Homo-oligomer: A and B are copies of this chain.
Amino acid sequence: MKLVWQRDSATVRDVYEALLGRRKIAYTTVMTMMKILETKGYLKKRRQERAFVYRPAHPKEKVIGKMIREFMDRVFNGSAEPLLVHLVRGKHIRERDLEKVRRMLEESK
């Protein structure tokens, strides 16, 4: 998914070659993965020339939002607050970013 997002659209070959850099994998494996992502509704495909070109079916923001929500549901029974607390209190986050968040919160007041 990330790879398709980065490129906004990508063929199986594009993704295949990008993945090859990191690990050994078969071309058809990538094909299968992308087909599954398609049937699950994360990618759309469109024939272009000989090959399929895949693009995201939904805006990235939306998908990530859904992932966050699922994570929250699973780990914190759906409430965001404890997650925030962890993030702020733990050493997950750099001081510089904290400052950014402070400002954001001020604005949205």
Which A residues have a C-beta under 8 Å from some C-beta of B? 61, 64-65, 67-69, 71-72, 75, 79-81, 83-90, 92-94, 97-98, 100-102, 104-106, 108-109
Contact = CB atoms under 8 A, between A and B. Distances in A.
17 contacts: A64-B86, A65-B90, A68-B75, A68-B86, A68-B90, A79-B97, A80-B87, A80-B92, A81-B94, A81-B100, A83-B87, A88-B108, A89-B108, A98-B105, A98-B108, A102-B102, A102-B106
Nearest to A62: B90
A49 to B, nearest CB: 32
Contacts of A102: 102, 105-106, 109
Given A71-B71, A75-B64, A93 B100 contact: no
